[in-house]
Amino acid sequence: MARFGLLLTCNGFANQNLASVMLFARAALNKGHEIDHLFLYQDAVYSVAAHTDLPADEPDLASELAQFCQQHAIALLFCITAAEKRGVVSDIRPARAGYIAAGLAEFAMRQVNIDKLVQF
């Protein structure tokens, strides 16, 4: 079986990437594969914002993703530099619960633990 790393680079509120990554992750786990980490980079870090106010009829896929990763012991990391640069997190704006700040160095080091990296 394969061990995957998942990379999100697009804004999850602007497309179906959060839903797609959860579908892929569920299917991979159901087939017996492992997922080491999920890393949010570039505009994908907008999903990390705890202060996002979604309309009542929209699902909160960012929270669902955090719960899914916690349930399956998948490291849910986001690039702190990309998040700070976009004003998503700061000293007064914390990240959403379940998301862990990391740098590109940590992301790079995790690549030795996987067989395949899939980008969304």
Distance CA 16, CA 24 (A): 12
Query: How deeply is 6 buried, as exposed, middle or buried, from its count of CB atoms within 10 A (0-12, 13-18, 19+)?
Result: buried
Of 41, 52, 53, 112, the C-alpha closest to 80 is 41
CA 80 to chain CA mean position, Å: 12
Residue positions annotated with a catalytic role: 79
